[in-house]
Structure 1
Amino acid sequence: MRGLRFTGLRARLAAAFVAVALLASVLASGMSYVLLRRAMLQRAQDAVLADVRGTLAQNVPEKIPPDSQVTLGADLKAALDMEGRKVAVVPAGLRGPVLLPPPGSLDVPVSEEFARRAMRGLVFQRIVVKDRSAAAHPYLLVGAHVTGYATTWDEPERQTPPLVFVSVSLGREAADLRLFTRVLATADALALLSALLLALLATRGVLRPVRRLGAAARALGEGELGSRVRVSGRDELADLARTFNGTAETLERTVTELRAMEEASRRFVADVSHELRTPLTSMIAMTGVLAEEAAGSPDGGAAELVADETRRLGRLVEHLIEISRFDAGAAALVLDGVDLAAAVAGTLSARGWTGEVEVEGPDGLAARVDPRRLDVIVANLVGNALGHGGPPVSVRFGEGDRAGVPGVEIVVADRGPGIPADLLAVVFDRFVKAEAARSRSDGSGLGLSIAKENAVLHGGALEAANRADGGAVFTLWLPARSEDADGRRDA
């Protein structure tokens, strides 16, 4: 029964199998009990009725001598009395009320209606009597009166035969029925146990291919595209296994092609980005010189525009190169001890944002991070707040625990319009911009995505939300790290 669950298919099949077997066994047992009970009671009843009828025929003459009811009643009682029976004889008056047997003379009481019917011939009735302990005792009550006898015309009462009542205990038959019931219950229990064992054996053979198919499907879902199921037989399960194998083969071929196409596209982006970097570096330098030389001349605006767009194209290429490193799994951490206050101040100073951003945090708070990647994260978050939010922009940092893991937390907030509700869930996706409808934008749509990738590379998290009083909030959390013998840090 290993692996049998009450909600599993094997349990349901076994339960159905056992239910059918139990129903069949109970029906067979019930029918057997009813038939046997009827036969046993009919046999006992027929034997008693035949005995009473024969006794009356032998002991009651056609012509009864006058005033012989007492003698005749005694003879009848002696002839019918035996173990398990009680006999009562009462005079049968032709006029007046019918006389009933004295109380206690029989095992069961006799009603007046039953006595009146007995006056017309042989009658019987099965009665169940309960004692003080509520135990049931079955009896057969027989009433008889001889008809067709001859009497004188002037005094028929003196020649009328008496009424005979006989109560017969059916206890032996009841005991036999109880024994038969126990035998049937034992047989039903054995049949149920056998049905359960057979059901488990049968369902084990039926469900083995299903379990193999389930294991193969789980392996396929976990990325093992070469997972297949052994096909045996020609039944429906074999057809299902062949269908699964065909589907898995098609899926493997399709996924392999898609992976190859994705790898080719990533390699193409990386190669193009690297090829563009060198000429763009020269172009940025030359357009900067041309813009300076053309300053104040009629062509100064165009030269400055070319220089700005060239620098923007250079930033886009740098971002694409960084993204390609993440996609290729080539991004690595170069960890070093960093003072967070100095690192944040250095990021703001290098970009000329020192006077535009409020900074709040303790001095001397150290963290083991990659300084370059931390600079990229903070620069992207602050630049996004300055470019798309509203003043004042603030940077707060300090210690922060998550799920019992110690770490550091940097929060960048602004008082602008906040992140649109339709972009909040995808704000870290690539090429997502709040100004997507505009023809051009200073951002590449990759800054927040790169910041997110750098946070995950550290083993941390980067989250975005809107303030209740307006503005966007970006929260960076990086876990604390312990230094190993080589001076490196592990999350």
Structure 2
Amino acid sequence: MRRFRRGWRRSLQWRTVAITVAAASAAIALVGVYMSVSVGNDLFQSRLNQVLVDSNRATSAAQGILDSSDAVDRVQVQTLLESARTSISAASSSRLVALFRVPGQESSTVAPQDSSTFGTSTAVIAPELRKAVQQDGDGQFWQSVTLFSDDGSSVPGIVVGSQITVPVAGRYELYIGYSLADAESTLLFVQRTLGGAGLALILLIGAVTWIVVRFVVTPIQVAAETSQKLASGDLGVRIPEKGEDVIATLARSFNGMADSLQSQIKELADLSEVQQRFVSDVSHELRTPLTTIRLAGDLLYDQRTTFPPATERTAELLHTQVERFELLLSDLLEISRYDAGSVELESEPTNLVHLAEDVIDGMRSLGESKGSEISLIAPGGHLAAEMDPRRVRRIVNNLIGNAIEHGEGKPIIVSVDSNESAVALSVRDYGMGMTQAEILHVFDRFWRADPSRKRTIGGTGLGLAISLEDATAHRGWLQVWSSPGAGSSFRLTLPRRKSGSLKVSPNPLPPADAAAPGFVSPHAEPRRDHHA
């Protein structure tokens, strides 16, 4: 049954043939039933007309024999009645004859007893038929019945009733039974013929439909397979163009669309490559003058105490902005490597708890200067996992730095846990939090939730974007939960093995202490946004 349902859902050819055969079967069945009923009614009516004519002729012949007789005693009347019965059987070609004296007449000593050759079928003569015959001496009445033979088998039949007058004895009810076995055999033959012809027609319709649909569906299947290959990145695949029909027109239109799409994608790829090369080249070219500016700035910064106050402040600003500029160039180079697809991980077994401790120790003084106490909770996750420690350290550093920046001087909790297939690190702050609209852009490059908010730590606006790229390179997840006024929680989940995959994270999201409803990043896996 599962295979049938799967084939029904996936195969247009199978569905078309099945529906066509089912509809044709219903139509043929209706036509067959109608024809069978019509033929049966025609056979019955024809046989009934013949039976009525035969019965009337036999009754008239028997009445003629009785009217011409001068019988006066019981023996003569009995003999006369036997002669009439023989005449009836000969004229009607039926051996089923019954004679019953009409009730309500005066008793007669010469009147013969009732007689019947129906045998066990006498009961088929219904009381309604007898009453109609008794009340109308000149009428002819009939009834459709089931006759039984001596061996107990049953056949359809007709009983015709009328009255005859026997000299001296009075009026008698005459019933003649006619078998419809021949008509029934004819009807069964017609029904078998219709059934066989209908079954052959259904098979023929199914075969023709299969062939026709195959001619139609095969090009559609080729188009579907070609579109799948095109969607998977094989831009050179095309549909074969044959003939001048609708399918050929579809193939030409599809191929034209594929050519246009391939051309546009190539143009975009070339443009993206040029943009990436431009960013990389500019970043590299800026390093030389930046190094010179950095050396000069450092010299001025070291001698700032000898300058007037205004010049001293200028030297400090120059030093700070040169550092930020240098960091920005490093981040731009890193982003350009990701965009160019040239990043290779240098994985090695690393304990995520120890790595988090090192980052926390390095940022503890910064957190304390902002009033935020950083604590580490690690119930599990002490086993080593395959990762690039430099890139993971950068992720953790960015997450904790963000928490310090937006934590409003409140505690920051770093949680590390693990299961058999993954390790996870969460950074929870209790600061201002974010709305759902802000969460949608939190990993965008150069995006800030509040552009008017002053950066107290610094940064380039690329930290979270690079962190997302680092997580994706590890086949990991970087997700966020946040609620306005209740803080945020960023969760990094990495597979234990380099080639592993993730199904569930060891750390909960939303966090366990999330009392207020919040918003979770809509992507179950980290997205990768490419910007110029």
> Corresponding residue for 1:14?
17
Residues 1:325 and 2:337 aligned together: yes
**Matches of 1:389 and 1:136 in 2, distance apart?**
98
173-182 or 351-360, which deviates more: 351-360
Instruction: Name the counterpart of 1:40.
Output: 43
Gaps in structure 2 of 5+ consecutive residues? 107-112, 500-532
> Which whole-Å CA distance do the structure 2 matches of 1:283 and 1:342 have between them?
37
343-352 vs 262-271, which deviates more? 343-352
Aligned residue in 1 for 2:89: 81
Q: Quick one: which amino acid aligns to residue 77 of structure 1? A: R
Residue aligning to 2:402: 384
Q: Structure 1 residue 339: deviation in Å?
A: 5.5
Give the structure 2 partner of residue 153 of structure 1.
none
Match of 1:277 in 2: 287
TM-score (normalised: structure 1): 0.81
Q: Counterparts of 1:121-270 in structure 2 under 5 Å?
A: 121-128=139-146, 137-145=155-163, 162-270=172-280
Alignment gaps of 5+ in structure 1? 150-155, 484-491
Amino acid at match of 2:37: V
Mean Cα deviation higher: 122-131 or 325-334: 122-131
SS of 1:60's equivalent in the other structure is: helix
Q: C-alpha distance in 2, partners of 1:187/1:16?
A: 20
How many Å separate the matches in 2 of 1:4 and 1:345?
53
Q: Retained in 1: the 8 A contact 2:159–2:178? A: yes
Counterparts in 2 of 1:255 and 1:181: CA distance versus 1, 3 Å: same
Aligned counterpart, 2:515: none
Residues of 2 paired with 1:107 and 1:339: CA distance? 101
- Code of the aligned partner of 2:124: V
Post-superposition Cα deviations, 1:379-404, rounded to whole Å, max 9, x if no partner, equal: 1111111112232123343x512xx4
Q: Give the letter aligned to residue 18 of structure 2.
A: A
Alpha-carbon displacement from aligned partner over 1:66-87 (angstroms, at most 9, x marks no partner): 7777655433322223786421
Call closer, same or farther: CA 1:86–1:482 in 2, change over 3 Å.
closer
Could you tell me which residue of structure 2 aligns to residue 315 of structure 1? 327
The alignment yields a C-alpha RMSD, in angstroms, of 3.9
After superposition, residues 466-485 of structure 1 pair within 5 angstroms as 466=482, 470-481=486-497
Give the whole-Å Cα distance in 2 for the aligned partners of 1:433 and 1:217: 40
Does structure 2 conserve the Cα–Cα contact (< 8 Å) formed by 1:270 and 1:324?
Answer: yes
The one-letter amino acid paired with 2:488 is A
- For 1:473, the aligned partner's letter is S
Normalising by structure 2, we get a TM-score of 0.75
Amino acid paired to 1:173: A
Letter in 1 for 2:59: L
- The Cα shift of 1:292 comes to 4.7
Question: Deviation string for 1:364-418 (max 9, x for gaps)?
Answer: 8655543322331221111111112232123343x512xx41x443332222122
Determine the structure 2 residue equivalent to 1:489: none
Shift of 1:478: 3.2
Seen in structure 2, the aligned counterparts of structure 1 residues 71 and 450 have a Cα distance that, compared at 3 Å, is same
Structure 1 distance, partners of 2:160, 2:350, is: 112
Q: Check conservation: 1:394, 1:412, Cα contact below 8 A.
A: yes
Give the SS at the match of 1:26: helix
Indicate the residue corresponding to 2:57 in structure 1: 54
Q: Give the stretch that moved more between structures: 243-252 or 290-299.
A: 290-299
Displacement of 1:171: 3.2
Shift of 1:126: 2.0
1:89 alignment partner, SS class: strand
- The amino acid that maps onto 1:315 is L
* CA displacement 1:408-440 (0-9 Å, x = unmatched): 433322221223322224422322322245588
Q: Which amino acid aligns with 1:424?
A: I
Q: Distance in 2 between matches of 1:375 and 1:94?
A: 122
Paired residue total: 467
Q: Hey, what does 2:375 align to over in structure 1? A: 358
Residue identity matched to 2:465: S
Q: Is the counterpart of residue 427 in structure 1 residue 442 in structure 2?
A: yes
% of aligned pairs identical? 29
Alignment check: 8 A CA contact 1:60 1:72 kept: no
* Distance verdict in 2 for CA 1:221–1:55, change over 3 Å: same
